[in-house]
């Protein structure tokens, strides 16, 4: 009971920090501050995902959001100026559209099953079969692993093939560019010798 109250307090604090960071990102005109704050935003949302027991999602959020996106944003920042143009103009129409959509989404959550409820539609269809069969049919103690690697094995194989193909494509792109640069340099130096 006590840990429940602590969890609620932690959730409220994290959501407050998330709100402060979001307002800071919107208000800040310094692009470097925006990049670092979005990294902090990702770290807070990773902590929120951990409180929701979605540890793998949290890990991806921390790696991609706080790690790679920050570096990519800094990379984009080297191509532009350090500060945003000062152009604050209140747009009433988009504000109302955003508030309306937000209110509709919050209204939609009222009909959702409570968090962690076993009556949720997602847990009704085939999940009881997975839970019952995981230990005896697949003989893998971890249910998530048995679903990913066995029940949905072909799905996972397809995903792995896509990621493998993407990795090979990136390697080809990187390798090609380096060879071209070397060729350019050698041709340039050859011209220099001729001249």
Partner 1 sequence: MMFAAAAAGLIIPMLMALVRGLAGPTLYDRVLAGNSFGTKTVLLIAVLGFIGGRPDFLDIALLYALMNFIGTIAILKFFRYRNLGVADSPDSKNGGTA
Residues at the interface with partner 1 (CB under 8 A): 2-3, 6-7, 9-10, 13-14, 17, 20-21, 24, 28, 32-33, 36-37, 39-40, 43-44, 46-47, 50-51, 55, 58-59, 62-63, 66-67, 70-71, 74-75, 78-79, 181
Q: Smaller CB distance to partner 1: residue 30 or 98?
A: 30
User: Nearer to partner 1 by C-beta: 47 or 151?
Assistant: 47
Q: How far is the CB of 34 from partner 1 (least distance, A)?
A: 10
Shortest Cβ distance from residue 46 to partner 1 (Å)? 7
Put residue 81 in one of left, alpha, beta given phi > 0 → left and psi -120 to 50 → alpha: beta
Nearer to partner 1, 14 or 140 (CB): 14
170, two tokens: 């990136």
Nearer CB in complex with partner 1: 14/148: 14
**Rounded distance between C-alpha atoms, residue 192 and residue 181, angstroms:** 16
Distance in Å, CB of 59 to partner 1, minimum: 7
End-to-end CA distance of the chain: give it in Å, rounded. Answer: 84
Instruction: Report, in Å, the least distance between residue 32 CB and partner 1.
Output: 6
Nearest to 71 by CA among 32, 29, 43, 44: 32
Q: What would the two tokens of residue 55 be?
A: 């540890």
Which is closer to partner 1, CB of 129 or CB of 184? 184
Per the DSSP assignment, residues forming a β-bridge with 83 are: 30
| Nearer to partner 1 among residue 155 and residue 181 (C-beta) | 181
We find the least distance from the C-beta atom of residue 119 to partner 1, in angstroms, to be 23
Q: Are 9 and 32 in contact (CB under 8 A)?
A: no
Give 120-182 as a 3 state SS string.
CHHHCCCHHHHHHHHHHHHCCCCHHHHHHHHHCHHHHHHHHHHHHHHHHHHHHHHHHHHHHHH
Question: Which pairs from 121-128 meet CB under 8 Å and 24+ separation?
Answer: none
Instruction: State the nearest-atom distance from the C-beta of 78 to partner 1, in Å.
Output: 6
């Amino acid at each position: 009971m006590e840990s429940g109250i602590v969890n609620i307090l932690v959730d409220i604090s994290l959501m407050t920090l998330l709100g402060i960071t979001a307002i800071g990102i919107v208000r800040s005109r310094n692009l470097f501050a925006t990049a670092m704050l979005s990294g902090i935003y990702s770290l807070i949302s990773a902590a929120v995902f951990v409180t929701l027991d979605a540890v793998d999602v949290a890990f991806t959020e921390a790696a991609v959001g706080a790690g790679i996106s920050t570096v990519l944003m800094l990379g984009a920042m080297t191509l532009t100026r350090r500060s945003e143009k000062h152009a604050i103009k209140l747009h009433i129409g988009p504000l109302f559209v955003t508030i309306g959509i937000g209110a509709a989404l919050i209204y939609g959550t009222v009909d959702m099953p409570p968090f962690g409820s076993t009556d949720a539609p997602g847990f009704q269809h085939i999940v009881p079969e997975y839970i019952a069969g995981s230990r005896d049919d697949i003989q893998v103690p971890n249910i998530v692993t048995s679903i990913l690697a066995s029940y949905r094995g072909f799905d996972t194989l397809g995903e792995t093939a896509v990621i493998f193909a993407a990795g090979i494509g990136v390697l080809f792109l990187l390798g090609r560019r380096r060879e071209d640069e070397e060729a350019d340099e050698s041709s340039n130096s050859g011209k220099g010798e001729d001249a």
